[in-house]
Amino acid sequence: MDDLSRGANDTELAGLAERDEVGVSIRDLTLPDALDDVGQDFDYIFHLAAIVGVGRVLEAPYEVLDANVTMTRNVISAARGQRSLKRFGFLSTSEVYAGSLERIELPLPTPESAPLVVPDLSRPRTSYMLSKVYGEALCHHAEIPFTIFRPHNVYGPRMGFAHVIPELLQRADQAPNGGELEVYSVNHRRTFCYVEDAVELLVRAVRSSACVGKTLNIGVEEPEISIGELAKLVIATVGKSLTVVPCPPTPGSPERRCPDMSMTAALTGFTAAVELETGVRRTYEWYRSAALPRSAPVH
């Protein structure tokens, strides 16, 4: 289900909808009756719907907080109405650690057991974090079998351009050879998880009885690289000679973010396998074929 406010009704979705075992439904999950007709026989429900992206969060914090909480309430209500639900998977966010990074000495890599500290409530970016913390609390008290996931910098095809990797790929692809690439937060450090690995972790977790009631990081623990280093990898992937021009840090962006993946790996028996260079290349190949302007030369 999707309202297509960010997702695309593209060839991939159309191909999926043609399969007999798949149904695609376009609907707005903020409406109170959005899920009245879904039935009571689902074994697994994944709730990924949310308003995301730093730009949207900064522009409309009230909408983000209100819509995300409303959607989560509605989906959990539908989950509680299932006859024999095996698992409810809730996609939270690594942003729940943002206040802790600011206020206390948070271990890095960060385990799921780290205490959560609420940042300044007047800060727009706090709205997204709060909507996910609220959702986590709903899961704990909804009396359903749940697993909470905190994804860390998942990337790959079909995610739009509001993430650092596709954004840098887009701008590097369109920049003239020998030109410049402006990069914000060049010294901030992250780890990146390819979407294929993230999905494998999600599926394994909901199928494992050991993950009932657990909160799990989703991502990779290493390599941890700077955004500046990521930009150089993007430039090499695009195949151009570009100069990285450092720009100021993005407001509210933590200097480091790295998940402790030991519990997720132990409970699922899986560790992310797609290397960053491979994942960035696959992402670029998809965007070159499906999303980037055709006028730019292929390198």
| Interval 131-159: pLDDT, tens | 999 999 999 999 999 999 999 999 999 99
Residue 9 sits in the same domain as residue 147: yes
Residue 82 sits in the same domain as residue 167: no
Tokens of 182: 């402006």
How many other C-beta atoms lie within 10 A of the C-beta of residue 111?
14
Q: Which domain holds residue 98?
A: 1-151
| Integer angstrom CA distances of residue 168 from 114, 172, 223 | 31, 6, 19
Q: CA-CA distance, 282 to 157, in Å (whole number)?
A: 8
Q: At what angle do helices 164-174 and 276-290 cross, to 10 degrees?
A: 60
Residue 1 sits in the same domain as residue 24: yes
pLDDT digit string, tens, across residues 3-58: 998 888 888 899 999 999 999 999 999 999 999 999 999 999 999 999 998 888 99
Q: Where are the beta strands (DSSP E) in 19-166?
A: 44-47, 87-91, 146-151, 154-155
> Considering only 47-51, 90-94, 293-297, which range has the smallest mean pLDDT?
293-297
Residue 73 sits in the same domain as residue 178: no
Residue 185 sits in the same domain as residue 288: yes
Contact 281, 158 (CB under 8 A): no
Contact 115, 104 (CB under 8 A): yes
205, part of any domain: no
| Integer angstrom CA distances of residue 140 from 63, 132, 213, 218, 268 | 24, 13, 7, 19, 21
Residue 296 pLDDT grade (very low, low, confident, very high; cuts 50, 70, 90): very low
Q: Is the pLDDT of residue 298 over 80?
A: no
Residue 177 pLDDT grade (very low, low, confident, very high; cuts 50, 70, 90): very high
293, part of any domain: yes
Domain count of the chain? 2
138, part of any domain: yes
Residue 187 sits in the same domain as residue 104: no
Q: Is the dihedral of CA 181, 154, 277, 229 positive or negative?
A: positive
For residue 2, give the DSSP letter.
B
